Amino acid sequence: MPTLSRWWNTLQDPNLGGSFNCWGDPGRNGIAKVLATTEGVTENNQSAVVWATCDVRFTAPYDYILVLETTVNGDPTERTLYIGENALITFEVWEGGNDWPIDSESEVHLSATAGMTYPNEFTIGCPGDTIYTISFFNNLTTQDDATATPVLIEVESKNGNLWAFTETFLLLPQMPPTLPPAPEDADQAGR
């Protein structure tokens, strides 16, 4: 259906005859318009059909996950995190075959062997999105050892489970080497 221009005016009005507007083109693959009817009579004993339409999403038997972007302090090539720094990880999860969000109530779990993800988990809503951004923090102390870890993204869906790893991050147990000057120091330096 999406590759054919039959979306508009293809359903017949059960009471008046003739086609009617289906309230807009879905603009995406995997959607069908369903017409449901039930017959009855009016208070004047005239035959009548009560009807309504709704969009139905065709689902596919598999989902996809893809890490789109990872940045540390806005740098897409950096993978070293000092104490207190965080990375932003953007990933996409979609249903195979039609690029729609995966089923609502699907669970997303995020974890790493060190550091902390935020959030640790969330549930896909209805309607869901396909692109999500999470944070990964270096929560080491100066007493810890440096460690390297990727972030694991796991999805539990009606269509099956899937997972992906980010690139590996190096978490250092030290403060960043250069800190921006405090606002008071910046004013003093300009004098």
Report the candidate in 88, 120, 102 with the shortest Cα–Cα distance to residue 156: 102
Q: How many Cα neighbours within 13 Å face the side chain of 112?
A: 27
As a whole number of angstroms, the distance between CA 134 and CA 119 comes to 7
Residue type at 115 in one-letter notation = G
pLDDT surpassing 70 at residue 23: no
What does the domain layout of the chain look like in residue ranges? 11-57, 63-171
Query: What does the DSSP assignment read for 121-159?
Result: EEE--SS--SEEEEEEE----TTSPPEEEPPEEEEEETT
Lowest mean pLDDT among 3-7, 15-19, 91-95, 177-181: 3-7
Q: What is the pLDDT of residue 101?
A: 82
pLDDT in tens, 31-62: 666 778 888 888 888 888 888 777 666 666 66
Q: Please tell me the pTM assigned to this model.
A: 0.66
What pLDDT does 32 receive?
65
pLDDT in tens, 66-109: 999 999 989 999 999 999 999 999 999 988 766 778 888 899 99
Q: What is the spatial order of strands in the sheet that 160-165 belongs to?
A: 121-123, 107-111, 152-157, 160-165
pLDDT in tens, 130-183: 899 999 999 999 999 999 999 999 999 887 899 999 999 999 999 998 765 666
Q: What is the pLDDT of residue 49?
A: 83
Please give the backbone phi and psi of residue 185, each rounded to the nearest 5 degrees, phi first: -65, -35
Alpha carbons 171 and 169: distance in angstroms, whole number: 6
Query: Is 63-171 a domain of CATH 2.60.40.10?
Result: yes
Gap between the Cα atoms of 155 and 66, Å rounded = 12
Centroid of chain to Cα 12: 36
Sheet of 80-81, strand order: 80-81, 169-171, 147-149
* pLDDT of amino acid 112: 97
